[in-house]
Amino acid sequence: MKRELRLRIKTFVMILVMVVCANAGDLMLKRGMTKIGVVPLTLAGLRHAFFLTVTSATIWIAILFLVGFTASYMMLMSWADYSYVMPAGAFGYALLTFLAVVFLHETVSPRRWIGVALICIGVLVVGLTKPRTTEVIARAAA
């Protein structure tokens, strides 16, 4: 029982890390590319954009977040079910909506709010199931 609880907490924390890293990475990438501006599709334009990209601190922070997302996703898959992590991770849509309202003061349509509510209930329902229903192959083989 204690082991099950520990697995739940570990999975929940890692899903949180994964979702935050993915959203923060996307946001920083968007901010970084907005600063760089429209990239002209010429050799000189692409070369200049590449130089601006690799020297931009914002882009590097975005890359760090996206590396964090990939690492947390890979770790989650090593102990939790795919069919548990993917729907549970959908609460990123809800988080993004809340962040857009609080920080960007965006107006959110009723349809989107209904969607967010359904996602939250769905994540809660999935969260009540067992995070892992298969044996870890590496352990089972040992």
Partner 1 sequence: MIRSLLAFTLFILCSTGGEIIITHAMKIIGEPARLRPREVLEFLWRALRNPWFWTGMPLLAASFYLLLLLLSWEPISLVIPASALNPYVFGTLAAKYFLGEQISSGRWAGVALVCAGVALVALS
Binding residues for partner 1, per CB under 8 A?
Answer: 10, 71, 74-75, 77-79, 81-84, 86-87, 90, 93, 97, 108-109, 111-112, 114-130, 133-134, 136-139
Closer of 48 and 112 to partner 1 (Cβ) = 112
Closer of 46 and 121 to partner 1 (Cβ) = 121
Provide φ and ψ at 118, rounded to 5°.
Answer: -65, -40
Closer of 46 and 108 to partner 1 (Cβ) = 108
CA dist., res. 12 & res. 130, Å (int) = 12
Cβ burial 75-112 (10 Å sphere, 16+ → b, else e): ebeeebbeebbebbbbbbbbbbbeeeeeeeeeeeeeee
CB of 9 to partner 1, least distance (A): 12
CB of 30 to partner 1, least distance (A): 16
* Residue (of 62, 2, 73, 5) closest to 36 by Cα position: 62
CB of 106 to partner 1, least distance (A): 12
Quote the distance between the C-alpha of residue 136 and its chain's center. Answer: 24
CB of 7 to partner 1, least distance (A): 10
